[in-house]
Chains A and B, each alone.
Chain A
Amino acid sequence: MVSGGVTKFAKAHPEMDFRLMCKNAFDRARAEVPNLRLDGIDGTRISYFSDHFTRQLKAASMVQDYLGLNPRGSVRIEWGGATGGECFQAAYEAVASGRMDTCLAIGFETMSRVATWKGNEFIALASDTNFDFPLGGFYTGYYALMVMRHLFEYVRRAKFSHISDEREAQRKAIEYGTRVMAKVSVKNHRNALYNPYAQYPKNIDVAGVLGSDMVSYPLTREQICTMSDGAAAAILCTEERAKELTDHPILIKGVGCGTDTMRLADRPFGKVLLMPHEKPSDYAHLEYPGVHSFRAGRSAGLEAYRHAGIENPGKDLDFIELHDAYSSSEIQTYEDLGLCKYGEGYDFVERGDAFLPNIDYGFPVPRAGTIPVNPSGGLIACGHPVGATGLMQAVFAFWQLQGTIGKHFGSDRLQIPKAKRGAIHSHAGTGSSVTVTIMEGK
């Protein structure tokens, strides 16, 4: 990767349609590599999630056209919430296969074109429309179901086994777990205070998160990402070409992708897919993935780690930008990606490994800086214009690895010192598809 660009994510961009938003992101990326002429781009991979939001089929053709890249090759990428991550990997494949020397990955979403609850309806159409959607199709509800089972498997059993009344024990587990989840939300909102691209930075505390509107029990509004308009672009090329364009290219070291059933109800109850540093006895009695964990996330992680030669992600990675559409799914994803074992996600938050050492969160974070997660603020605070989100993560990770956060954010508060290797993680509908990409600097 030689360059990236992002528009500020916002509730709405009345002054730009999707073509101009993409043009803005593209021009920002081009400004960083002045030696790259327009005719030096061999082709594109263009992503947006929902034809319902655009109500313009083949919108990607209109982007290609507006950027002045006809008649070169292009494909539109769509894969639910993981659309941006898939787009990035598609561009990687175009270059790695030898088909192109230079490929542009660019994505957008324009979610402001309908009212918020209509937007939720559009998103819920990415669940089974015969068996799931008519019951009250609502993604926050689906993720709430998943975290309720996660809390039952891990918190109720591990921390409240001394309480014999089942209903009471589960309530205690939910109370404990949601306080921990709220800390994740505080982390991401407060990190974003230093990210000028973020849509929703906020100096919020645990009480503020828990006290915000209940959306789907136990998820409150401040634990959920918002609807956004925005675009992001990444320029990928061969190593040879990269040297001509920049002194600070970043290597795409590994890619992985995993899938799972669309319907939560169909998820199997089998055995855990083990990380190299785990053993079967760690999970002797765990039925996996059930609805508590994202098997696709683990599968994507395993493929990307194998590709990149990573044995122990918690040690071998310096940071992760992951798909925190919900504070709960960030915790579940720590486990999927092997930062801690399944069941240890809540303790992992309490230890503070995923927090930044130089930000005040209002509670102790003893091991802050061990492996910062979502230093940018993640989806919860940056916004989630679906087709751009995975590419936004790539751009933020690119800047981290270049050491140019200070230049791009106007403050180096979020720069992770000596960051050498990072991962980005893009995730679709209840974990039905996930991508993980490993990026490496010099």
Chain B
Amino acid sequence: MCAKELKKTSRFTEVQAELERTGAALFVDKEGSENLYIRSPYTIQYIHSYAEDSPFFLGLAEGRIRGTRCTACQYTFATPRGHCQFCGEPTQWVDLPTKGKVHAWTTCHYGSEAFLKETPYNLVLVEFEGAKSLLLSRLKDCGEEDIYVGMPIEARFAQEPSYSITDLWFVPAPGSLKK
């Protein structure tokens, strides 16, 4: 194969398409220079440990939301952490309620490549009674027009755990949808 057989284009989108098709293309810039593009894939499988956060993800599989509480200053974290961010002392595990409120929200109509097929989806920062910090989650079974700051919501858990934060999501509490 010689370079002459490569597709030449001055459109960047055509370069991308050609790389998908043949793996190489020539981009011709304004000065007439030919710039050689190639496809360069990269995949990797990490061997990932949740380490000290493991009980949280095991808890989701049992239908529990587990936060942590500082053994010294008693600050309660809805997103667990092994040591307190204020005094550095160790925390202990506590069960959080499965009902909460929307502290902040958005609806994503685009997303990272990994999540594009799931759009639109709602993200919420959840407040819990008895916890001072928040937890990020998805809010399902409702539309953009339903959601507001302060809206009461309830947890749902995956039947088959994938041991990911996505094993947990929230839905509107009964009666809280827009009428």
Contact = CB atoms under 8 A, between A and B. Distances in A.
Given A136-B123, A266-B79, 10 more contacts: A15-B29, A118-B113, A130-B165, A131-B136, A137-B115, A149-B103, A216-B107, A264-B136, A265-B79, A265-B136
B104 A152 contact: yes
B116 interface: yes
A132 B136 CA distance: 7
A141 B35 CA distance: 36
Interface in B1-59: 12, 15-16, 27, 29, 31, 33, 35, 37, 40, 42, 50, 53
B40 to A, nearest CB: 7
A12 B12 contact: yes
B87 interface: no
B96 interface: no
Interface in A67-116: 112, 115
B113 A145 contact: no
21 contacts: A15-B29, A120-B110, A120-B112, A121-B114, A132-B136, A136-B108, A136-B138, A141-B123, A152-B149, A170-B148, A214-B109, A216-B109, A217-B106, A263-B136, A264-B136, A265-B78, A265-B79, A265-B125, A266-B134, A268-B133, A291-B125
A145 B85 contact: no
Closest 7 interchain pairs by CB? A121-B112, A144-B106, A149-B104, A265-B134, A14-B35, A117-B113, A265-B79
B95 interface: no
A409 to B, nearest CB: 21
A115 B104 contact: no
Given A15-B33, A261-B85, A266-B133, A141 B111 contact: yes
Q: Which of A121, A137, A138, A156 has the most chain B CB within a 10 Å cutoff? A: A138
Interface in B40-86: 40, 42, 50, 53, 77-79, 81, 85-86
A266 B106 contact: no
A132 B138 CA distance: 10
A59 B26 CA distance: 24
B129 interface: no
Contacts of A118: 112-113
B162 to A, nearest CB: 9
Interface of A: 11-12, 14-15, 55, 112, 115, 117-118, 120-121, 124, 130-132, 134-138, 140-141, 144-146, 148-149, 152, 156, 166-167, 170, 213-218, 261, 263-269, 291
Contacts of B133: 265-268
Nearest to B162: A134
Contacts of B33: 15
B148 to A, nearest CB: 5
B88 interface: no
B108 A134 contact: no
Contacts of A145: 104-106, 123, 125
Given A117-B116, A265-B125, A217 B109 contact: yes
B35 A15 contact: yes
Contacts of B31: 15
Nearest to A218: B106
Nearest to A149: B104
A349 to B, nearest CB: 21
B12 to A, nearest CB: 6
A304 B53 CA distance: 37
A15 B178 CA distance: 54
A366 B115 CA distance: 44
Contact of B111 (A55, A138, A149, A267): A138
Contacts of A263: 79, 136
Contacts of B138: 135-136
A140 B108 contact: yes
A55 B40 contact: yes
Contact of A264 (B53, B113, B115, B125): B125
A120 B114 CA distance: 10
B150 interface: yes
B112 A124 contact: yes
B103 to A, nearest CB: 7
B16 A115 contact: yes
Contacts of A267: 133-134
A291 B134 contact: yes
Contacts of B42: 55
Nearest to B147: A167
Nearest to A168: B148
Contact of B132 (A166, A214, A269): A269
B109 A215 contact: yes
B89 interface: no
Nearest to A17: B35
A128 B123 CA distance: 15
A170 B136 CA distance: 21
Contacts of A215: 108-110
A134 B169 CA distance: 12
